Amino acid sequence: DAMVIQNPRYQVTQFGKPVTLSCSQTLNHNVMYWYQQKSSQAPKLLFHYYDKDFNNEADTPDNFQSRRPNTSFCFLDIRSPGLGDAAMYLCATTPEGAGEQYFGPGTRLTVT
């Protein structure tokens, strides 16, 4: 059974056209994360939510925003995608604190 679901799996958007990626979880975990992973690189943490408490990484561009309307769902909004934003975007969850993160399958974003 899928525990962390990401939609869509593949997303193509045009340069500058806003795009939203979604993540949902059936684990009832308090913490949800968004990572950006470019080819041959490590996942880079963009931000995370502890319940409704939003935590932005210092080097995450303002172009990236996030929403968490409830425990199950979290969205990543890219306001004006650039070519450099093409990447795999991974959502992950954890109950709380330092522990195993459960990753979704990722959304591969292409910017044309």
**Residue numbers of the site for another protein (CB under 8 A)?**
31, 33, 40-45, 48, 50, 55, 58, 90, 94, 96-101, 103-106
CA atoms within 13 A on the CB side of 42: 2
Q: Which secondary structure element, helix H or strand E, spans residue 11, and what is its range?
A: strand 10-13
AA identity, residue 4:
V
Transcribe 44-93 into DSSP letters.
EEEEEEETTEEEE-TTS-TTEEEE-SSSSEEEEEESS--GGG-EEEEEEE
For the chain, counts of helices (H) and of strands (E): 0, 11
Residue 75 or 103 with smaller CB distance to another protein: 103
Q: How far is the CB of 80 from another protein (least distance, A)?
A: 27
Q: How far is the CB of 18 from another protein (least distance, A)?
A: 25
Q: How far is the CB of 25 from another protein (least distance, A)?
A: 14
Q: Under a CB-based contact definition with an 8 Å cutoff, are residues 88 and 29 in contact?
A: no
Q: How far is the CB of 15 from another protein (least distance, A)?
A: 24
